[in-house]
Amino acid sequence: MQENHLFEYAIVRVVPRVEREEFINVGVILLCAKQKYLHALLSLNQVRLHALCPDMDASLIQDHMRSFERICQGGKEGGPIGLLSQSERFRWLTSSRSTIVQCSQVHPGLCADPAVTLQRLFDQLVQ
């Protein structure tokens, strides 16, 4: 029997017009501290984006999404935030903000394999 570990995740959202509070889900960030796992799966559906906001620059959104990935990976590529611990990086990424790319509230769960769980959440919540 595999041991289950506590994990936390948040949904990454694009909010083209913050004042309207309309959004599309574009990814999931998952932290499983015990297994030293912090990853994000992100994908921008440009058809959905343009239906919500026809004049939004998709390349700008994708740049922001790539920064989320670099911060999750850690190291110099993620800038000053990338040098923090995994938990600190996760907290920074999932903190409340009024920007075009935002995260949902953080949700907990238990899993045996965080990579499998991340893919399942991505399939359910984004795809």
pLDDT per residue as tens digits for the range 34-81: 999 999 999 999 999 999 889 988 999 999 999 999 999 999 999 999
Q: How much is the pLDDT for 23?
A: 92
Domain with 17 in it: 5-125
Partners of 101 in the β-ladder: 14
Contact assessment for residue 19 and residue 13, using Cβ atoms and an 8 Å cutoff: no
Q: How much is the pLDDT for 1?
A: 66
Residue 105 has pLDDT above 90, yes or no: yes
Residue 91 has pLDDT above 80, yes or no: yes
CA distance 92 to 86: 10
Q: Residue ranges of the alpha helices (H) in 19-104?
A: 46-52, 58-73, 79-82, 86-94
| Domain count within the chain | 1
Q: What is the mean pLDDT of residues 2-22?
A: 91
| CA–centroid distance for 100 within its chain | 13
Contact assessment for residue 104 and residue 121, using Cβ atoms and an 8 Å cutoff: no
